[in-house]
Structure 1
Amino acid sequence: MEFLTWKIEEKVAVVTINRPPANALSRQLILEVNEMLNAFEHDESVRVILIHGEGRFFSAGADIKEFTEVTSGEEFSKLAAQGQEVFERLESFPKPIIASIHGAALGGGLELAMSCHIRYVAEDAKLGLPELSLGLIPGFAGSQRLPRYVGTAKAAEMLFTSEPITGSEAVQYGLANKAFQNEELLQKSTELAKKIAEKSPIALKAAIQMLQYSKDASYYEGVKAEAESFGTVFVSEDAKEGIQAFIEKRKPNFTGK
């Protein structure tokens, strides 16, 4: 593992994302998330997984510079579908997964966090999907998961404006479970993980399976459509301008092409 490390204590695997400076989600990091799940799925010493970020952020988003290496819409759609597959596996994983969010969970970082079963946040953390500010859209099922937590109106506002909400607001809108002072966040998250780890693994697995029935057919149709649209949008002139403006740290000039 290049970007993920972990330690196991009292049936809890504490997983750390360590890809400075912003823990941006690259294809390699997403691959390592899947490998981490492979490692823990049949490991009886692990009953609960806790994911947090090293440094200033949980994850400040996808690796935008890596996107410049992709040229075709079909490849972008495939990239989105691959990320969606890993995040769907997170959400349906037979062991509870907790995201402990400090600093920021933006774009792909929030999509990763939304795939976890429970989210504890720092009160001043920033959570959002800012893709439209780059002329893009979410690609890892963010457009489908966010409305399930905050409602369609709030999701639309967050998507259209690209403005994040705070950790405290995330609790208010149902995106997070509880908010804490930054210095006590990881401790409280770990306490929750250890409490859950005391439960029957068989019962936990069954409960997670039951939660998956809350996702109807339209959800999966939406996820597939998002991946396809992700590719279409990413090869537009506006997307190229948005990515270049992000890299050059300037305001983009969108033309609608």
Structure 2
Amino acid sequence: MGDDQADRVTVHVDGGVADVRLDRPEKLNALDMAMFGALAETGEALAADPSVRAVVLSGEGRAFCAGLDFANFAAMAADAPPAGASARFRRLVNDITAREPGRATNLAQQVVHVWREMPQPVIAAVHGHALGGGLQIALGADIRIVAPDATLSVLEIRWGLVPDMTGTAALIRLVGEDVAKELTFTGRMITGAEAVRLGLATRAADDPRAAATELAREIAGHSPDAVRGAKRLLNRAADGDLAGQFLEESRTLDALRGSPNQVEAVRAYFEKRPPKFTDPL
């Protein structure tokens, strides 16, 4: 992991429980190039560590993750990877439909899917904002414990885009087709309490990280073979054609990025005016 990536995620392991924290609090843990790389590499390293029995995933500061850092990703609009970009990130920018070697995901999707595919259970502790890509990261966990007043949103529609970090598969699995469509088509903000009612989150707690850590320690006290076997079986029962779904996410996003209506969505939002969209061809 590069020095810039090391500044984005912290990991502490105690008693078989890995405490993983997004660590960019001054930006509400927004996802930039370094955060993408750090999250994917952290998850992959923990997955390969047999001493880790459970993972707690949270954010430092006032939020879990506010979503994409648009300033950092501005170079993507010009199809130009930022200076110092890793090979993984350059592959994502150059062709979003390209897959990670040997995987069903691109890098952005792997940032989320790494938590679902790792053999150990992952518990997301969500407070403050979990928006767009930040929400999708939480959806990659096996269990979500949220603050009642947390703010969650499938925010991509604001920018004329679609969830592209495995979110479409997770939403259908968790809340059903109709609720998934309502949240995705509107991008409306929901509280942690409503997220629990909808099935988007597992349960609420005033201190999500403390509750998640307590649960992780309980899980870590059980047979790791049985826990890993159970996660594998439950994932298999719930998953459909993920490789096809993830590729279609990328193809759809690729067609939307930089299109007239997508550009208009962003401009209208920042100019604080109603957007003027053209009819689809």
**Fold-level match, TM-score > 0.5?**
yes
Distance 1:44 1:238, change over 3 A: same
TM-score w.r.t. length of structure 2: 0.83
Distance 1:217 1:51, change over 3 A: closer
Map of 2:122 onto structure 1: 97
The separation in 2 between residues aligned to 1:193 and 1:143, in whole angstroms, is 27
**Does residue 164 of structure 2 align to residue 142 of structure 1?**
no
The separation in 1 between residues aligned to 2:188 and 2:23, in whole angstroms, is 25
**Does residue 209 of structure 2 align to residue 186 of structure 1?**
yes
Map of 1:111 onto structure 2: 136
List runs of 5+ in structure 1 lacking aligned partners.
none
Alignment partner for residue 198 of structure 1, among 205, 221, 230? 221
The separation in 2 between residues aligned to 1:150 and 1:238, in whole angstroms, is 28
Map of 1:21 onto structure 2: 27
AA in 2 matched with 1:4 = V
**Does residue 11 of structure 2 align to residue 11 of structure 1?**
no
TM-score w.r.t. length of structure 1: 0.90
AA in 1 matched with 2:196 = V
- Deviation (angstroms), 1:26: 1.9
Alignment partner for residue 75 of structure 1, among 72, 95, 98? 95
The separation in 2 between residues aligned to 1:38 and 1:148, in whole angstroms, is 24
Moved over 6 A (4+): none
Map of 1:47 onto structure 2: 53
Q: How many residues align?
A: 254
Is the helix fraction higher in 1 or 2? 1
**Does residue 97 of structure 2 align to residue 87 of structure 1?**
no
Conserved 8 A contact 2:67-2:132: yes
1:166-216 superposed Cα distances (whole Å, 9 cap, x missing partner)? 1111111111111012xx222111111110110111111111211221244
Alignment partner for residue 275 of structure 2, among 240, 245, 253? 253
1:47-87 superposed Cα distances (whole Å, 9 cap, x missing partner)? 11101111111001112223321135963444983221342
Which of 40-49 and 232-241 deviates more?
Answer: 40-49
List runs of 5+ in structure 2 lacking aligned partners.
1-5, 80-92, 100-104
